[in-house]
Amino acid sequence: MILRVVIALAIGITLYLIGASLLRKFWVAPPAEPDPDDVHPVNLRYRCTICGAEVTMTAAQGDSPEAPRHCREDMELVD
Protein backbone atom coordinates (compact mmCIF):
# COMPACT_ATOMS: atom_id res chain seq x y z
CA MET A 1 0.00 0.00 0.00
CA ILE A 2 2.71 2.49 0.95
CA LEU A 3 4.72 1.51 -2.14
CA ARG A 4 1.76 2.42 -4.38
CA VAL A 5 1.42 5.83 -2.71
CA VAL A 6 5.14 6.52 -3.13
CA ILE A 7 5.04 5.48 -6.80
CA ALA A 8 1.91 7.62 -7.40
CA LEU A 9 3.59 10.63 -5.75
CA ALA A 10 6.74 10.11 -7.86
CA ILE A 11 4.69 9.91 -11.05
CA GLY A 12 2.64 12.98 -10.07
CA ILE A 13 5.75 15.04 -9.29
CA THR A 14 7.39 13.92 -12.54
CA LEU A 15 4.34 14.90 -14.59
CA TYR A 16 4.15 18.25 -12.80
CA LEU A 17 7.81 19.01 -13.51
CA ILE A 18 7.48 18.04 -17.17
CA GLY A 19 4.34 20.19 -17.57
CA ALA A 20 5.93 23.16 -15.80
CA SER A 21 9.05 22.98 -17.98
CA LEU A 22 6.90 22.85 -21.13
CA LEU A 23 4.87 25.89 -20.06
CA ARG A 24 8.04 27.81 -19.18
CA LYS A 25 9.21 27.45 -22.81
CA PHE A 26 6.13 29.35 -24.05
CA TRP A 27 6.95 32.48 -22.04
CA VAL A 28 8.24 35.24 -24.31
CA ALA A 29 9.33 38.60 -22.98
CA PRO A 30 7.41 41.56 -24.44
CA PRO A 31 9.38 43.93 -26.67
CA ALA A 32 11.02 46.88 -24.97
CA GLU A 33 9.12 50.16 -24.95
CA PRO A 34 10.40 52.61 -27.59
CA ASP A 35 12.24 55.67 -26.38
CA PRO A 36 9.84 58.64 -26.71
CA ASP A 37 12.70 60.77 -28.05
CA ASP A 38 13.14 58.37 -31.01
CA VAL A 39 9.48 58.53 -32.11
CA HIS A 40 8.95 61.11 -34.86
CA PRO A 41 5.75 62.23 -36.58
CA VAL A 42 5.36 60.87 -40.11
CA ASN A 43 2.55 60.84 -42.66
CA LEU A 44 2.83 57.58 -44.58
CA ARG A 45 0.06 55.54 -46.22
CA TYR A 46 0.43 51.86 -46.98
CA ARG A 47 -1.82 49.49 -48.96
CA CYS A 48 -1.95 45.70 -48.85
CA THR A 49 -1.41 44.23 -52.33
CA ILE A 50 -3.48 41.15 -51.48
CA CYS A 51 -6.73 42.52 -49.98
CA GLY A 52 -6.45 46.28 -50.47
CA ALA A 53 -6.50 47.25 -46.77
CA GLU A 54 -4.94 50.66 -46.11
CA VAL A 55 -2.97 51.90 -43.10
CA THR A 56 -1.96 55.47 -42.25
CA MET A 57 1.17 55.70 -40.12
CA THR A 58 1.33 58.90 -38.09
CA ALA A 59 4.33 58.20 -35.83
CA ALA A 60 7.36 55.99 -36.29
CA GLN A 61 10.64 55.19 -34.66
CA GLY A 62 13.39 56.51 -36.90
CA ASP A 63 13.21 58.36 -40.20
CA SER A 64 12.41 55.50 -42.58
CA PRO A 65 10.23 52.88 -40.82
CA GLU A 66 9.75 49.38 -42.16
CA ALA A 67 6.53 48.69 -44.02
CA PRO A 68 3.86 47.00 -41.91
CA ARG A 69 2.78 43.47 -42.80
CA HIS A 70 -0.72 42.38 -43.75
CA CYS A 71 -1.86 39.09 -45.28
CA ARG A 72 1.68 37.85 -44.52
CA GLU A 73 3.18 40.28 -47.05
CA ASP A 74 4.81 43.70 -46.73
CA MET A 75 2.43 46.52 -47.56
CA GLU A 76 3.30 48.94 -50.38
CA LEU A 77 3.79 52.66 -49.82
CA VAL A 78 1.04 54.74 -51.47
CA ASP A 79 2.01 58.15 -52.81
- pLDDT at residue 37, rounded to an integer: 86
The span from the CA of 55 to the CA of 58, in Å, is 10
- pLDDT at residue 70, rounded to an integer: 92
- pLDDT at residue 18, rounded to an integer: 96
CB-count burial class (<10 Å; 0-12, 13-18, 19+) for 47: middle
Question: Listing from the earlier edge strand, what are the strands of the sheet with 76-78?
Answer: 54-61, 39-47, 76-78
Domain extent listing, the chain: 2-78
User: pLDDT for 8-55, tens place per residue?
Assistant: 999 999 999 999 999 998 888 888 888 888 888 999 999 999 999 999
The DSSP output letter for 63 is: S
